[in-house]
């Protein structure tokens, strides 16, 4: 193992020296962000190689307007809100789900649990808080599929599901063209397949390398990226062959596309990105919380003074935000990047200072 670490480190240093100029590599996965800090990987990198934490944590990219809609639904007497634990502390305009102290808010471990709640409480409408990237979208799709099959008419989802690749394109296209390459998410790529990054490689000529979550995999992924930058190439590569194939999980992808279609939607910090949010297809609209409750529009808003948006685009490091570590800490988070344990601000606060 030590030999592999040393080999990767040497390749990274030699390549970066050859390039000479500053290099910026963005990881697009919250689990990578935490792993990079936890393993002290930044301390092994040459000075001209900088890691940026991109829009890879689903909680962090969820727009405040979405949270406000969840909060409005939670205040009703005819609903039960079923949510993954990650979302419970994210503040909207009027506080977080946790701060409401209502017993109609239930933390669940799977979409199945949400559907079970609906069957148990026929007098309530269960709203599943459906956030997450391609890894987390299939379970929401299956829940709606099961709900439709079993005739569960008091279950719906508020879809904030996101697609990673169009966000990477939007980032390069309009927000930050200084990103030299991407370290691509492992488990999103299990579903998507590594070939999905073709547009980034072909259109923007940026290397995309998929890695798993162990320190050594991240280092070896970075070594492959740096070699490509030094050679002036931009290709798709993967060091997570144990779980990721070029084609991905086709069964999961078919279930997603049977139930959902892409639409324009707001991402925190990135604004509205075309075709990067997933909504239920028309034939399943009775399972769509927006349709069910007659919500015409999800407002887009960001909390005043919060610079999470710039953090997510790789434009600033968390300590450059004046609230970081002062008004905004893991105990009193203002922005989602501090709330989520996978957020860049939370990781910087814990390990980076």
Partner 1 sequence: MCLAVPARIIEKDGDRAVADAMGNKWNIRITLTPDIEVGDVVLIHAGYAITKVDEEEAQKTWELFEEIAHFEEERLKAEQQGGDDA
Question: Which residues make up the interface to partner 1 (CB under 8 A)?
Answer: 29-31, 57-59, 84, 86, 109-113, 131-133, 135-136, 138-139, 142, 185-188, 190-191, 213-214, 242-243, 249, 251-252, 255, 340, 342
Tell me whether residue 121 is exposed, middle or buried, using C-beta atoms within 10 angstroms of its C-beta: 0 to 12, 13 to 18, 19 or more. middle
Residue closer to partner 1 (CB basis): 247 or 332: 247
Alpha-carbon distance of 189 to 31, in angstroms, equals 13
Q: Name the minimum Å distance from CB 84 to partner 1.
A: 7
Which residues are paired to 17 by β-bridges?
Answer: none
Q: Name the minimum Å distance from CB 344 to partner 1.
A: 14
Q: Name the minimum Å distance from CB 78 to partner 1.
A: 27
Residue closer to partner 1 (CB basis): 191 or 345: 191
Residue closer to partner 1 (CB basis): 20 or 85: 85
Residue closer to partner 1 (CB basis): 213 or 227: 213
Residue closer to partner 1 (CB basis): 229 or 333: 333
Give me the helices (H) in the chain, please.
Answer: 2-19, 30-38, 58-61, 64-74, 97-100, 111-120, 137-150, 164-170, 186-192, 198-204, 215-231, 250-259, 289-292, 308-312, 336-339, 344-347
Residue closer to partner 1 (CB basis): 248 or 314: 248
Q: Name the minimum Å distance from CB 187 to partner 1.
A: 4
Q: Name the minimum Å distance from CB 297 to partner 1.
A: 26
CB 83 within 8 A of CB 106: yes
Alpha-carbon distance of 73 to 135, in angstroms, equals 26
Q: From the centroid of its chain, how far is CA 61?
A: 6
Q: Name the minimum Å distance from CB 205 to partner 1.
A: 27
Q: From the centroid of its chain, how far is CA 100?
A: 25
């Amino acid at each position: 193992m030590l030999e592999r670490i040393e080999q990767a480190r040497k390749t990274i240093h030699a390549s970066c020296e050859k390039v000479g100029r500053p290099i910026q590599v963005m990881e697009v996965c919250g689990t990578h962000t935490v792993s990079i800090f936890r393993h002290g990987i930044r301390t092994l990198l040459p000075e001209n190689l900088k890691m940026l934490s991109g829009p890879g944590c689903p909680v962090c990219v969820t727009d405040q307007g979405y949270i406000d809609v969840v909060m409005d639904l939670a205040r009703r007497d005819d609903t039960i809100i079923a949510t993954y634990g990650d979302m419970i502390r994210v503040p909207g305009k009027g506080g977080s789900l946790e701060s409401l102290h209502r017993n109609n808010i239930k933390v669940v471990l799977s979409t199945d649990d949400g559907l079970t709640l609906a069957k148990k409480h026929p007098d309530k409408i269960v709203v599943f808080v459906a956030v997450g990237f391609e890894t987390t979208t299939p379970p929401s799709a299956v829940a709606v599929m099961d709900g439709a099959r079993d005739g569960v008419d008091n279950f719906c989802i508020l879809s904030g599901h996101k697609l990673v690749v169009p966000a990477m394109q939007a980032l390069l296209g309009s927000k930050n063209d200084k990103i030299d390459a991407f370290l691509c998410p492992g488990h999103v790529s299990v579903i998507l397949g590594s070939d999905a990054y073709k547009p980034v490689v072909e259109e923007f000529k940026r290397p995309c390398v998929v890695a798993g979550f162990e320190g050594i995999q991240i280092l070896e992924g970075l070594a492959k990226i740096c070699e490509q930058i030094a050679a002036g190439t931009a290709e798709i590569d993967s060091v997570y062959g144990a779980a990721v194939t070029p084609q991905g999980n086709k069964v999961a992808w078919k279930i997603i596309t049977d139930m959902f279609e892409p639409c324009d939607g707001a991402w925190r910090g990135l604004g509205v990105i075309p075709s990067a949010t997933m909504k239920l297809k028309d034939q399943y609209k009775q399972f769509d919380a927006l349709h069910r409750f007659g919500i015409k529009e999800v407002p887009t808003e960001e909390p005043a003074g919060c610079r999470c948006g710039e953090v997510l685009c790789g434009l600033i490091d968390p300590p450059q935000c004046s609230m970081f570590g002062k008004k905004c800490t893991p105990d009193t988070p203002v922005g989602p990047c501090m709330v989520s344990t996978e957020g860049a601000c939370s990781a910087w606060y814990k390990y980076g200072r």
